[in-house]
């Protein structure tokens, strides 16, 4: 039960972190005494980990777990880089740092552009075995994944996506129609 609660809280932390980020870079850089937005993102993905190993042993779960873990590692790396940006004294230094990092695809792609998306793909895969037992929860997770990848025209789409992920997984993990391992 605790792992399921942490999982939902983790997704909600992702949503709240995205809400803070939606206020713009000036807002993020002005946060004191810490970068609350990225700490919420970091804690959010870490809170997902315990539940990963409580999902039923199904093919899509076996595929989803390592993909989610790759996404978690990439988001942790992204947060570390964002903490460094946040700690810089001014925007000029931040731009120089970003320009420098963007020249290194081995850093930029996994931690800034591509890697964090693994989390979303993995979350979708984790939900597939629950389709027969909870169509609404699985459909919401599918919708959230569509929003992340194909609805870039929606402002602040990640806020909505993580909120929908949280609702979808709440339905999957906490309704009596689903079968899950107890923890």
Task: Return all residues near 20 (Cβ < 8 A) that are at least 6 apart.
Answer: 27, 28, 31, 36, 37, 40
Task: Return all residues near 28 (Cβ < 8 A) that are at least 6 apart.
Answer: 20, 21, 35, 37, 38, 86
Confidence of residue 1 (pLDDT cuts 50, 70, 90): confident
Mean pLDDT across the stretch 73-84?
Answer: 94
Separation between Cα atoms, residue 169 and residue 13, nearest integer Å: 14
Confidence of residue 177 (pLDDT cuts 50, 70, 90): low
Q: How does pLDDT run across 6-17, given as a tens digit for each residue?
A: 999 999 999 999
Inter-residue contact 122 to 68 (CB < 8 Å): yes
What is the value of pTM for the model shown? 0.89
Confidence of residue 128 (pLDDT cuts 50, 70, 90): very high
Residue 42 has pLDDT above 80, yes or no: yes
Lowest mean pLDDT among 3-12, 61-70, 73-82, 168-177: 168-177
Q: Which residue has the higher pLDDT, 149 or 178?
A: 149
Residue 179 has pLDDT above 50, yes or no: no
In the three-class reduction of DSSP (H, G, I as helix; E, B as strand; rest coil), residue 155 is classed as: coil
Q: Please tell me the predicted confidence (pLDDT) of residue 93.
A: 93
List the domain boundaries for the chain: 2-174
């Amino acid at each position: 039960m605790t792992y399921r609660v942490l999982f939902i809280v983790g997704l909600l932390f992702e949503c709240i972190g995205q809400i803070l980020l939606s206020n713009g870079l000036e807002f993020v850089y002005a946060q004191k005494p810490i970068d609350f937005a990225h700490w919420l993102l970091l804690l959010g993905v870490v809170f997902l980990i315990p539940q990963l190993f409580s999902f039923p042993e199904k093919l899509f779960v076996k595929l989803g777990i390592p993909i989610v873990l790759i996404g978690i590692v990439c988001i942790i790396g992204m947060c570390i880089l964002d903490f460094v940006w946040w700690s810089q004294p001014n925007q000029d230094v931040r731009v120089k740092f970003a320009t420098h990092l963007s020249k290194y695809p081995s850093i930029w792609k996994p931690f800034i552009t591509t890697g964090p998306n693994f989390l979303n793909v993995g979350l979708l895969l984790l939900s597939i075995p629950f389709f027969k037992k909870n169509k609404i929860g699985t459909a919401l997770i599918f919708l959230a994944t569509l929003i992340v990848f194909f609805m870039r025209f929606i402002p602040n789409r990640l806020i909505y996506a993580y909120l929908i992920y949280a609702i979808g997984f709440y339905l999957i993990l906490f309704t009596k129609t689903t079968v899950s391992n107890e923890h």
